[in-house]
Amino acid sequence: MPELPEVETIARGLAPQVEGRTITAVHVFNASTVHGTRALLTHKTAGCTVRRVHRRGKLLLMDMAAAEEGSPGPTHIAFHLKMTGRLFVYPQNTPPAAHTRLIFDLSDGRRLFFDDARKFGYCRALAQADFKEWDFWQTLGPEPLETGQQAFVERLRHRRTRIKAALLDQTVIAGIGNIYADESLFRARIRPDAPCNSIPEKQLRTLHGVMQAVLQQAIRECGSSIRDYRDAHGDAGAFQNNFLVYGRSGEPCRECGIPLFTSKVAGRTTVFCGVCQR
């Protein structure tokens, strides 16, 4: 599933292609891809202009401007890519492909496709008031790159849950998934199954710093491509070339040389070093 760096990369690549363009029509090829009030997307979006493309947690957001003051169109369109969702801009008259779930026709003649092989991703059109009714949005935790060190420590230090489970919990902190949890915990020398309240505050402060460094490096390298992820130009990311633990089960630790361990934490395959992460 694309995590914070991948969604950030897609948003940055998509922005110059769609910002300032008006959506002239919306075509739905898979009804279950549309969450929330379907009519708001299918009947009220045409005529709205994309003002800004950005990210919140693992969500990609398009801020919309109505054609006229007081128009009932959406103020935002949100995409959750889940495992295999992709957003690409194609030339005029490009037909839908086998996995195309939505197409947005743009005023410059091009078409924004939302493709999703597994059909787990979704699109949601929202009026401003709808955010108050969207439980997922209301419970999202703070952004890891915008959270100060002490605030980060305070969110974790009294919790009894395991540290990796806490990092994966989008209500605790938004945007981190399996890849960047494993990589950050290795660099901070923290076992992924350690209870949060057992970790010294000094180590939690270290984790805050390395987590931000890992995320920033991954954004610079356009994310990690394991299977399906491609950016808004169709290019693969490069951060997977820097993995120290993720996906390297049984391989030698790059620090101490012993084989890396695998376990399950919060239901997710977790790779760590039994020596470096004591």
- Per-residue pLDDT tens over the stretch 246-277: 999 999 999 999 999 999 999 999 999 999 99
Catalytic positions = 2-3, 58, 268
Three-class DSSP category at 178: helix
Strand ranges (DSSP E) for the chain?
23-28, 34-35, 49-56, 59-65, 76-80, 85-90, 100-106, 111-116, 122-126, 261-265, 268-272
Helix axes 201-220 and 4-18, enclosed angle (nearest 10): 40
Exposed / middle / buried, residue 67 (Cβ in 10 Å: 0-12, 13-18, 19+)? exposed
Three-class DSSP category at 217: helix
97 pLDDT band, cuts 50/70/90, is: very high
CATH class for the region spanning 4-138 = alpha beta
Q: Domain limits of the chain?
A: 4-138, 149-272
Q: Out of 1-5, 49-53, 150-154, 270-274, which region has the weakest mean confidence (pLDDT)?
A: 1-5
Residues 6+ apart with CB under 8 A from 133: none
pLDDT at 230 over 80: no
Could you tell me where the DSSP H helices lie in the chain? 4-18, 38-42, 135-138, 149-156, 163-168, 178-188, 201-220
Per residue in 101-148, pLDDT tens? 999 999 999 999 999 999 999 999 999 999 999 999 999 999 999 999
Q: Round to whole Å and give the CA distance between 156 and 148.
A: 13
CATH class for the region spanning 149-272 = mainly alpha
